[in-house]
Amino acid sequence: MSTVWMEGDVPYLTSEQMREVDRVMTEDFHIDLGRMMENAGRGLAHLARERFLAKDPRDKSVIVLAGTGGNGGGAMAAARRLHGWGATVGVVATREPEHMDAVPGEQLRILEMMDVPLSVGEVPPSRPPDLIIDGVIGYSLQGAPRGIAKELIDWANGTVVPVLSLDVPSGFDAGRGLVFAPIVKATATMTLALPKVGFREDGAADVVGELYLADIGVPRELYAREPLSLTVGPVFARSDVVRVA
């Protein structure tokens, strides 16, 4: 992969600031979660193809672990694209569509219509894929993972397969830099919009791996508004996905 590195500095967001970005995007700019999710999925699939699948997903196998919220939805959007690009994709969801948030549930239903192999609440079979995509838990993590989320994290960590996490590794509190047990030990993490403050904490690099930043369509003017009052340049001028660290 020809890596495009980020030019210059960008602000790092707290969890509260990221929630404010999400709120203003939907309420004021009318850029809804579905659009952001599609952008995240496109960037994630692109990074998976270029960095982990030898730039050609055909004859490669990918397991996508998807939670009930926005992270799971973005991971499932990536699954759709990788399936369309010829990869053998399997999706493991932590809950049924009716128990997911509306937009991720819609993503799961689309995958069902595409006949992408799906399972709910089950650890994947023992045969390892070429890549695992982690979309189990995002920046809204509340305490240590448990239940099927814990089981999927333990399974991913027990393989010798590269793991690409969306936004944050599942089990990582990106707002405070706290590492819970269990936590996905990612080979790479593609975070969204702007990096999270927790990525700067000691020990974060050990679970985040290579850190990439993806454009999900947040206008620079949004960051400049109060209460954020942040200055963000044209970070994605040369690529929709840039490497931070």
Q: What is the pLDDT of residues 227-240, one digit of tens each?
A: 999 999 999 999 99
Per-residue model confidence (pLDDT) at position 82: 98
Q: Say how many C-beta atoms besides its own lie within 10 A of residue 171's C-beta.
A: 25
Domain assignments of the chain as residue spans, ordered by start:
15-243
Residue 208, both tokens:
């985040």
Q: Which residue has the higher pLDDT, 78 or 177?
A: 78
Residue 182 banded pLDDT, cuts 50, 70, 90: very high
CA distance 59 to 240: 26
CA distance 1 to 125: 30
Which CATH number does 15-243 carry? Answer: 3.40.50.10260
Helices (H) and strands (E) in the chain, counts: 7, 10
Which residue spans within 56-192 are E strands per DSSP?
61-66, 88-93, 118-120, 131-135, 163-166, 172-173, 178-179, 188-192
Predicted confidence (pLDDT) per residue in 96-144, tens digit: 888 888 888 999 999 999 999 999 988 887 688 999 999 998 876 777 8
CA distance 37 to 127: 29
Does the structure show a pLDDT above 90 at 215?
A: yes
**What is the average pLDDT value for the chain, to the nearest integer?**
93
Per-residue model confidence (pLDDT) at position 140: 67
Q: Which residue has the tokens 């495009």?
A: 4
Residue 179 banded pLDDT, cuts 50, 70, 90: confident
For residue 117, is the peptide bond before it cis, meaning its omega torsion is within 30 degrees of 0?
Answer: no
> Per mean pLDDT, which of 44-58, 89-103, 120-134, 189-203 is the most reliable?
44-58
Residue 198, both tokens:
């927790």
Per-residue model confidence (pLDDT) at position 56: 98
